[in-house]
Structure 1
Amino acid sequence: QPTLRKLVGGSSAPQLPDDSVRQLLVEADATNELFKYCEGQGYSLFVAAQPCSYTTQVVAGMIYTVSMSTEPDPGTYYEIKIFKPLPHLEQKARVTEIRMAQR
């Protein structure tokens, strides 16, 4: 049976959202950024976006890729990339990319 190895610089395994990720979403204003993205693409959001899972990747800071669902259709979700700078820089987390995805 093959052994799973983590690649240096690779993303973590998907994890369930916890309070720290919910706090990160607030700090980065991710829900508002998602709303603006959807509005710009002509999509309508009628329900609040909910985080479903996330991965992390260590760079010169941390990249979080958060999967969020905005509708009852389990086949459609959004991937939101958030960059959290190193603590000594004293900068807020920020959304760097949003894309629609299908399961």
Structure 2
Amino acid sequence: MRALADPTRRAVFERIARAKEINVAELTRSSGVTQGAVSQHLKSLKLAGLVAERPQGRNVYYRAKPEGLAPLFDWLDHYEVFWRERLDTLRNLLKEIDP
């Protein structure tokens, strides 16, 4: 979760996730930050297991690794019962207010 806490890093990850593969130059053009900053964000995402890289000549291409999000989904699943109960309570309250 720490890797995705930064809004710029999250935007970089989202851009990678929408593309099949994308290189640093393409990410830099659309990010509004320097190439060095994009590279630092990519390093953090790679260390977190959220992206994989594939070198090809002078370029390195990045792709999202959905399995890297598994710990986040596991953590969110832990709270599913909490939210389900509260949403059921809200649904019942709304039915009472406006049958």
Q: TM-score, normalised by structure 2?
A: 0.24
Larger strand share, 1 or 2: 1
Q: TM-score, normalised by structure 1?
A: 0.24
The structure with the largest helix share of the pair is 2
Question: Which structure is larger by alpha-carbon Rg, 1 or 2?
Answer: 2
